[in-house]
Amino acid sequence: MIKDLTLDASPRDGMGKGFARRLRMQGLIPAAVYGEGIDPVAVSVNAKALAAILRSPLGGISDNGLFALRCAPWVDEEGEPARLHRRNLLSALRRHRDIKFIDQQDRAALDRLAPWLEAMIARRNRYGIADLLRYAVSSSEFLAIIARGSGGGLPNT
């Protein structure tokens, strides 16, 4: 059985940099929903939902790796930081090589996930949701994960 990954979003009225900053301070991410035949809708997405996708079998990031992405010091940072960082997850994903305390397995998953996510972001305004989902499944290891989870005959490794 296929398990859906759902990202809950709420409609938002405000626009602009100041409004986006206020959303981020509340733990939300400003976003837009596009689809074939419908007008774009401005929404806000819970940052925890993005973290859930990163931790899903598609992302494969551990709790420790997720915490390091969000809060660990930079590699070139000297001494003890005065406080933990609080990074945007997408920005941290793009610069994960510059963050300390991410283990080899999580780095490998991030190396695989970062270009895939960038390709998805590049396609978001040009394709409908059905085409984006087809691309997501065909370009990721998600079919192997589905087969493995449903007794599809692939060996567990």
Region 120-124: mean pLDDT is 80
Q: For the chain, what percent of residues have pLDDT higher than 70?
A: 76
Supply the pLDDT for residue 1.
Answer: 37
Q: Is the pLDDT of residue 103 over 70?
A: yes
Residue of 8 and 22 predicted with greater confidence: 22
Element holding 52 (H helix, E strand): helix 47-55
Residue 100 pLDDT > 60, yes or no? yes
Provide mean pLDDT across the span 94-113: 90
CB 145 within 8 A of CB 58: yes
pLDDT tens-digit map of 40-82: 777 777 777 667 777 777 778 888 888 888 888 888 887 776 7
**Residue 45: what are its φ and ψ, rounded to 5°?**
-120, 140
45: nearest Cα among 72, 7, 79: 7
Domain ranges of the chain: 48-149
Phi-psi bin for 11: left (phi > 0), alpha (psi -120 to 50), beta?
beta
DSSP, collapsed to helix, strand or coil, labels residue 76 as coil
Predicted TM-score (pTM) of the model is 0.57
Question: What is the distance between the alpha carbons of residues 136 and 143, in angstroms, rounded to a whole number?
Answer: 10
